[in-house]
Amino acid sequence: MTTVFEQVEDALDTLSVPYGMDTYLSNADLPAQYMVYSLIDGVASQHADDAETQRTYRVQVSLYDRNGLANLPDVDTAMLAAGFAKGPERQLPRDNESGHYGLAKDYFKLS
């Protein structure tokens, strides 16, 4: 069975946009558009016979773009195809140093 991290990376790989886990690490300058994902939490959702049988994972994918938020990659379609459900999203403050605008999108998966 694959981990939630592998499932997210498999989904994001389909978008051809650079990404990283927790932070975007690169020896070069930040690209004009990139993504960062992280696991917000994993909560036990079901128990049987004194054992956990299901867990709900909440993953956040943050998209960053120097040109604004109008032309972002279609993360929703990629994540939904990987079995995640859409959750809340929110705009992130513009990074004055890099000039990137940001949008954080949460996704849930029951495993």
- Dist. CA 41–CA 21, nearest whole Å: 14
Is residue 4 classed as helix, strand or coil in its secondary structure? helix
Number of domains within the chain = 1
Runs of H (alpha helix) within the chain: 4-13, 75-81
Q: For the domain that residue 56 is a member of, what is the CATH number?
A: 3.30.2000.10
Q: What is the pLDDT of residue 99?
A: 94
Please give the structure tokens belonging to residue 98: 């890099």
Rg (CA), the chain: 15
> Which regions of the chain are under pLDDT 50?
none
pTM of model > 0.85: yes
pLDDT of residue 27: 62
